[in-house]
């Protein structure tokens, strides 16, 4: 009777069904619970959970537990588990799908707020920085470095340079809270003679909408950034995240 009840629960699991549809090739069934995924996971132990336990929850059809565990929001999507797994079970993809079980407006406020803020303008900045703000900060920091740091009098931090080889993204927290943190990368690009540029549009590197598991918003952010690269005619897109 216990076996019959367990079989019935697995069969009725909508989440497990969705995982099997989106992860072809029996990816879920490939897991043999070796625990290798958990050994290198930075989220192991949080909320008494780890990747192996999560996979078993999916396999057993524990939809309610999957939908309510805060652990899925602890995952950084670093993919260490996939690289460690001898069977290449796609745990981050399962975590991503599990996040979508939570109504959008009930997802973690920090990630939700950052995603919504990035959607407000073409800068894609999760800090809400405008095109004018970004341009002012970059030019102000650049002027200070040129005036105070010997050897970098000709340092460049171009903005909207058409035809540059590289389009550089910047974490939007740095120009707003730690602007000096931008300078080391400028110096590296200067020393190697790279032909690069920022754009006033699409310059923010992060994409919280991805971590929110909001496919539509995630795609919008990526397309906005890609358009900024194309509009300036750059050959390569360098994202620092």
* CATH number of the domain encompassing residue 37: 1.10.1060
Q: Which tokens belong to 12?
A: 């009725």
The predicted pLDDT at position 112 comes to 98
Q: What is the rounded distance in angstroms from the CA atom of residue 121 to the CA atom of residue 220?
A: 11
Question: What kind and span of H or E run contains 167?
Answer: strand 166-168
Segment (H or E) for 135: helix 131-148
Q: How many CB atoms lie within 10 A of CB 50?
A: 19
* 99's tokens: 């996040």
Same domain, 156 and 120: yes
Q: How far from chain centre, in Å, is Cα 9?
A: 33
* 73 and 164 part of one domain: no
Number of structural domains, the chain?
Answer: 2
pLDDT at position 10: 44
Domain boundary at 80, 102, 124, which? 102
Q: One digit per residue, pLDDT tens: the chain, 241 residues?
A: 444 444 444 446 888 888 888 876 657 888 888 999 999 999 999 999 999 999 999 989 999 999 999 999 999 989 999 999 999 899 999 999 999 999 999 999 999 999 999 999 999 999 999 999 999 999 999 999 999 999 999 999 999 999 999 999 999 999 999 999 999 999 999 999 999 999 999 999 999 999 999 999 999 999 999 999 999 999 999 998 7
> Is there a single domain that holds both residue 93 and residue 116?
no
**pLDDT score, position 7:** 45
139 and 225 part of one domain: yes
Same domain as 125, residue 175: yes
Boundaries of domain holding 127: 109-238
Phi, psi of 127 (to 5 degrees): -95, -5
pLDDT at position 85 is 92
| Pair 94, 213 in one domain | no
Same domain, 156 and 95: no
Q: Are residues 160 and 126 in the same domain?
A: yes
CA distance 224 to 167: 13
User: Are residues 215 and 98 part of one domain?
Assistant: no
């Amino acid at each position: 009777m216990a076996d019959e009840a367990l079989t019935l629960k697995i069969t009725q699991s909508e989440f497990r069904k969705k995982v099997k549809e989106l992860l072809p090739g029996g990816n879920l069934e490939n897991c043999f619970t070796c625990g290798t995924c958990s050994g290198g996971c930075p989220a192991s132990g949080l909320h008494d959970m780890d990747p192996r336990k999560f996979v078993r929850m999916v396999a057993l059809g524990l939809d309610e537990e999957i939908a309510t565990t805060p652990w899925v929001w602890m995952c950084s999507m670093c993919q260490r588990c996939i690289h460690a797994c001898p069977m290449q079970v796609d745990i981050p993809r399962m975590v991503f799908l599990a996040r979508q079980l939570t109504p959008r407006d009930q997802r973690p406020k920090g990630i939700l707020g950052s995603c919504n803020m990035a959607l407000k303008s073409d800068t894609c900045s999760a800090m809400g920085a405008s095109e004018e703000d970004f341009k002012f900060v970059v030019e102000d920091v650049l002027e200070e470095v040129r005036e105070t740091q010997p050897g970098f009098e000709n340092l460049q931090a171009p903005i909207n340079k058409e035809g540059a080889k590289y389009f550089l993204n910047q974490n939007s927290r740095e120009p707003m809270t730690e602007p000096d943190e931008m300078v080391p990368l400028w110096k590296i690009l200067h020393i190697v003679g790279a032909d690069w540029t920022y754009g006033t549009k699409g310059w923010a590197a992060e994409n919280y909408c991805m971590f929110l598991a909001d496919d539509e918003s995630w795609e919008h952010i990526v397309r906005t950034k890609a358009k900024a690269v194309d509009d300036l005619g750059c050959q390569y897109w360098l994202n620092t995240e």
